Amino acid sequence: MLLPRGGPRRISPPQAHRMLQTGTAVLLDVREADEYQAGHAPGALHLPLSRLAAGAADVPGGRSGRGIVLICRSGHRSQDAARLLADRGVASVDVAGGMRDWEERGLPVQDAQGTAGTVI
């Protein structure tokens, strides 16, 4: 996945969901642990922005050959994460509107136990 000029591009929650469902992307949730545990997209991997900013070198799914899609609560932290990754030469996209928009569109949200979750 190539980064367009001008920085990381944004995609909608339905686009991200389709990419996750078809296996063409890895969805990384960059929120903190309590947020992720309360409600995340099924199949999303957890990599908090705080850990990424502190220099976490290994990006889950980064070597899989699939695209990297970043998501947070509203879309701000995922943009920051996309910029951090771009600075490291890792292409990614972020989800505009984040998990709040994901949930509002009726896309699945699960908690740490795999049951219906909520976005906090």
What are the catalytic residues?
72
Q: Do residues 67 and 28 touch, judged by C-beta distance below 8 A? A: no
Read off the tokens for 32: 């903190």
Q: Do residues 76 and 95 touch, judged by C-beta distance below 8 A? A: no
Find the helix or strand (DSSP H, E) in which 45 lies: strand 45-46
